[in-house]
Amino acid sequence: MIKINTKKFNHLISVSKLCLVFFIFTLIPTSAISKNLNHPGQTDFNVKDRLAIINVINSYADDYDHNNFSEYLKLFSKDIKCTVYTNDSEPVIVQGEEFRKFMKGLRLSALENNVGPLHFISNLNIQEQTSRSAIAETYVMYVPLDTSSLDLPEETLNNTKITGTARYIFSLEKDLKNIWKIKSYVIVAYESFNRSNGIRTSVLSHPNCSVCEYLVTGLRNQVYYDIIVKAVNNGTKVVHQY
């Protein structure tokens, strides 16, 4: 017969449960827990990973602009996929080796035309972050700097203008060497306003019509237009403007 001290036994069970719970939690590293950042002020994420992600995105612009192309290509995974959306056409998709050749050709073309590309990244927001993947969004402004006029400050200033803006959505992953890389990204390009791109027309074919109709052609898809209508009497005085 074995005599059991139930009080002591219950105590051991409690200690065993405590140890078991502690053991289970120590088996699950905090970096493996998914972080869907529902609030930008959350702090339960891996800070080293966060800094690495931000550095990769900043290097996307910096390495390209400084023509560090070998380092630039290291920012991407082997099967990198880039999708570009513009206002008036179907999305352009380049992937893998095709992407690398395309970007290299684009950078060489800039050099040949004395263009120093400047990409300004702003409003960077890490939307999701786990131990192996992340999604980030940022706005980018593009300035094609004329490198042939860098020794002429006034001319350089006059020619330095923002010619494009876009929203970038990056999908990143950590590879087997624990290096963060861009797996895919989407560029949503916005057309900069230019008054000279407007359409001006004068309807004089039916000057005596009471209900006039005119078909405006040449408009671009998914682009907003302001329509200004002026009406005159006898061609001398503006009586209505919309």
Q: Is the CB of residue 31 less than 8 Å from the CB of residue 44?
A: no
Q: How many angstroms from the chain centroid is the CA of residue 239?
A: 47
Mean of pLDDT values over 140-152:
75
* Helix/strand/coil for 140: strand
pLDDT band, residue 145 (cuts 50/70/90): confident
Report how far residue 152's alpha carbon sits from residue 216's, in angstroms, rounded to the nearest whole number: 44
Predicted model pTM:
0.64
- In a 13 Å sphere around the CA of 202, the CA atoms on its Cβ side amount to 4
Q: Do residues 227 and 242 lie in contact, with contact meaning Cβ atoms separated by under 8 Å?
A: yes
pLDDT tens-place string over residues 6-32: 444 344 333 333 333 333 233 333 333
Rounded Cα gap, residues 189 and 202, in angstroms: 32
Q: Which two tokens stand for residue 210?
A: 């009471």
Question: Average of pLDDT values for 170-188?
Answer: 97
In the structure, what pLDDT confidence band is assigned to residue 143 with cuts at 50, 70 and 90?
confident
Q: What is the CATH number of domain 32-194?
A: 3.10.450.50
